[in-house]
């Protein structure tokens, strides 16, 4: 299942455009393979933060046994990996060193693990009365290189060579790593020793990742004042769970700065709160359409195509035990802990 698709973007740089195309190519293969799978969740182009560190992940796969980060790398020409795991590439016949995409993906994965582990009691259940953690789960990485590149992995360590694939083979590598046992592999299923997530845990983990996915701020100009305000609001809603009072705030163009921080934003209407909803991927507030999926109600953005879940923590008591319901044209977030109720979306 594709929980976040690759955002359609472009750049004035030929090199950056090549990288964007490579990410789209890999996202295409992942979509073709996993869009109808309930036990494989795909996030494309996400940005996570934890303890002051940030990770921009090209592709993240969450499945029953763990997590896989796939780093897309656009390379024209030839790439070599030596016995010390050092990378070099050729460009117009000239060779030069390059950072290891495998090491980069491992650093991203480590930050993801730290973020999840910091919230394990929120995401995982208990076993024999003891809180489970993420320590025994599978955490793996791959690097997907352009299909027209020439790869020389003859001297690379085996563990590095196995993580290096061309784009069209990335699904085969992922399937082999995830290693799902079929119904007929009875003995193999009995011998399975990997701890697996329950359906409820998998849902909580994916909702958590969606809620903590952020976007970098765009430069402040007269043309993007409205969009940047929406991004600031969206960031504040997704990154802060500790505000007990919701306030309404409007910004003028002069107030908009890249480091501006806002409280969570909503409008108070009688006994109910009305929560401002914006696309978590591009910050758009218009062109949102309500949808229903496996993980409940969400809105799809007509601007970038991204999905934003309507479910979120309670703004009054900060409880995660909330539920979104629909009555005619109104979607309401109800808190099971404090009985607060708030409108989150209304069909136009």
Residue 217 inside a domain? The answer is no
Mean pLDDT of 156-172: 94
Helices (H) and strands (E) in the chain, counts: 8, 20
**Overall average pLDDT of the 273-286 stretch:** 74
Residues 265 and 302 in one domain: yes
Q: Which pLDDT value is given to residue 152?
A: 92
- 26 and 9 Cβ atoms separated by less than 8 Å: no
> Which pTM was predicted?
0.61
Bridge pairing between strands 53-63 and 296-301: unpaired
Same structural domain, 205 and 302: no
Which band of pLDDT confidence, cut at 50, 70 and 90, is reported for residue 57? very high
pLDDT band at residue 269, thresholds of 50, 70 and 90? very low
Count how many domains the chain has.
Answer: 2
Residue 2: CB partners within 8 Å, gap ≥ 6?
A: 30, 31, 34, 35, 42, 44
- Whether pLDDT at 319 is above 90: no
In this model, does residue 258 exceed pLDDT 50? Answer: no
Distance CA(315)–CA(241), nearest Å, equals: 7
Span 168-176, mean pLDDT? 95
Record the tokens describing residue 154, joined without a space: 């003859």
Lowest mean pLDDT: which of 100-104, 173-177, 192-196, 273-277?
273-277
73 domain residue, yes or no: yes
Q: Is residue 130 part of a domain?
A: yes
Handedness of CA 177, 179, 180, 182 (dihedral sign): positive
**Which domain-ending residue is among 211, 243, 258?**
211
- pLDDT tier at 187 (50, 70, 90 boundaries)? low
* Cβ contact 37:1 at 8 Å: yes
Residue 141 lies in a domain: yes
Q: Is 275 a residue whose pLDDT tops 60?
A: yes
> How does residue 181 score in pLDDT terms, banded at 50, 70 and 90?
confident
In a domain, 325, yes or no: yes
Q: Does one domain contain both 144 and 99?
A: yes
- CA atoms within a 13 Å half-sphere pointing along the CA-CB vector of 27: 20
172 and 231 share a domain?
A: no
In this prediction, residue 323 carries a pLDDT of: 87
Residue 246: the pLDDT is: 34
Domain limit, last residue, from 211, 231, 256: 211
- Same domain as 182, residue 37: yes
Q: Residue 137: which domain range?
A: 2-211
Considering the domain boundaries, does residue 157 fall inside one?
A: yes
Residue at a domain's end among 191, 211, 231: 211
Spatial neighbors of 229 by CB under 8 A, at least 6 apart, are: 251, 256
Residue 104 inside a domain? The answer is yes
Using CB atoms within 10 A of its CB, is residue 87 exposed (0-12), middle (13-18) or buried (19+)?
Answer: buried
CB 164 within 8 A of CB 151: yes
pLDDT at res. 303: 80
**Is the domain of 248 the same as that of 143?**
no
Q: Is residue 188 domain-shared with residue 242, that is, in the same domain?
A: no
pLDDT (tens digit, 9 = 90+) per residue, 77-92?
Answer: 899 999 999 999 988 8
Q: What is the pLDDT of residue 12?
A: 53
Mean pLDDT calculated for residue range 38-59: 92
Regarding whether 148 and 41 lie in a shared domain, the answer is yes
Among the listed ranges 47-56, 88-97, 210-219, which one has the minimum average pLDDT value? 210-219
255 in the same domain as 153: no
Q: Which residues of 62-77 are buried (b: 16+ CB within 10 A; e: fewer)?
A: bbbbbbbbbbbbbbee
Average of pLDDT values for 229-257?
37
Q: How confident is the model at residue 188 (pLDDT cuts 50, 70, 90)?
A: low
Residue 274, pLDDT score: 55
Q: Answer yes or no: do 204 and 247 share one domain.
A: no
CB 289, CB 310: distance < 8 Å? no
Of how many residues is the chain composed? 348
**Torsion angle in degrees (nearest 10) through CA of 123, 129, 133, 136:** -130
Based on the fold, state whether residues 146 and 274 are members of the same structural domain: no
The reported pLDDT for the residue numbered 178 is 94
Q: Is residue 24 located within the same domain as residue 117? A: yes
Q: Is residue 326 part of a domain?
A: yes
Tell me, what's the pLDDT at 261? 35
Residue 117's pLDDT is: 95
């Amino acid at each position: 299942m594709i929980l976040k698709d690759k955002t359609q973007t472009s750049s004035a740089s030929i090199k950056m455009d090549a990288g964007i195309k490579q990410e789209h190519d890999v996202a295409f293969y992942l979509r073709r393979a996993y869009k109808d799978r309930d036990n494989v969740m795909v996030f494309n182009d996400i940005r996570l933060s934890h303890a002051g560190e940030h990770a921009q992940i090209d592709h993240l796969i969450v499945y029953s046994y763990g997590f896989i980060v796939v780093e897309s790398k656009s390379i024209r020409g030839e790439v070599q990996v030596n016995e010390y795991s050092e990378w070099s590439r050729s460009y117009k016949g000239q060779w030069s060193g390059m950072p290891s995409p495998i090491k980069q993906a491992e650093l991203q994965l480590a930050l993801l693990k730290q973020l999840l582990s910091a919230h394990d009691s929120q995401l995982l259940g208990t076993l024999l009365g003891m809180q489970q953690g993420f320590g025994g789960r599978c955490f793996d990485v791959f690097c997907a290189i352009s299909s027209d590149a020439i790869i020389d992995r003859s001297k690379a360590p085996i563990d590095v060579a196995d993580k290096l694939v061309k784009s069209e083979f990335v699904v085969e590598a992922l399937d082999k790593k995830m290693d799902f046992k079929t119904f007929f592999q009875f003995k193999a299923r009995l011998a399975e020793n990997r701890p697996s997530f329950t359906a409820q845990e998998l849902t909580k983990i994916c909702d958590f990742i969606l809620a903590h996915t952020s976007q970098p701020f765009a430069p402040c100009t007269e043309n993007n004042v409205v969009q940047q305000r929406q991004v600031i609001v969206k960031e504040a809603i997704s990154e802060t769970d500790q505000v007990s009072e919701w306030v309404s705030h409007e910004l003028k163009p002069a107030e908009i700065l890249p480091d501006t921080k806002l409280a969570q934003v909503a409008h108070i209407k009688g006994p109910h709160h009305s929560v401002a909803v914006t696309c978590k991927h591009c910050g758009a507030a218009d062109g949102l359409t309500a949808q229903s999926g496996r993980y409940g109600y969400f809105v799809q953005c007509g601007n970038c195509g991204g999905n934003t879940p309507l479910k979120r923590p309670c703004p009054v008591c900060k409880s995660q035990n909330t539920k979104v319901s629909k009555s005619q044209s109104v979607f309401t977030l109800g808190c099971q802990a404090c009985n607060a109720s708030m409108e989150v979306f209304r069909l136009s």
